[in-house]
Structure 1
Amino acid sequence: MRVPEAAGRARVVVLTRQGCHLCEVAEQTVAAVAAETGDTWTTVDVDADPELKARYTDEVPVTFVDGRQHDFWRVDPARLRAALGA
């Protein structure tokens, strides 16, 4: 998977969509962990990119760390902290 150029240099990217409750929860979790670790993060709207939508529509939210898929549906804070520390 390619992380969209719009994601810039953020360490954590969350693929989201509007109206997605799990996405809101994932964003809150990522924001809290990133605030602790000092890492950067961003979101990308999966519906804005046909390729991403085709690949990930049933898995949203999808979390990437350093350009690699980390998780989908839910974000475990401890697991995310460990990935950012690696």
Structure 2
Amino acid sequence: MRTNNTYLQARCKRLTARRGPLRALVAVEHSIITAIWHMLTDNLPYHDLGGTYFAQRDPERATRRAITALNQLGCTVTLNPIQAAA
């Protein structure tokens, strides 16, 4: 993982936690090959989704995951939503 805040790095971190480092590496390699195939087939440049793609895709799930992680560390969590500026 030599790049920061990229979709592939986020994917690798998520998969490493569930499957282990070697399976995550193979899955990320497959993602890269698939992206290259689409780039060559459609004649399009690579567009990175960003490192926050998974959190933006389902923010409630990301919130639950963070709360669960804090609870496992022995912290209680109270959520106070940020109010939008008028």
Same fold (TM over 0.5): no
TM-score by length of 1: 0.29
Counting strand residues as a fraction of each chain, which structure ranks higher? Answer: 1
CA radius of gyration, larger in? 2
Counting helix residues as a fraction of each chain, which structure ranks higher? Answer: 2
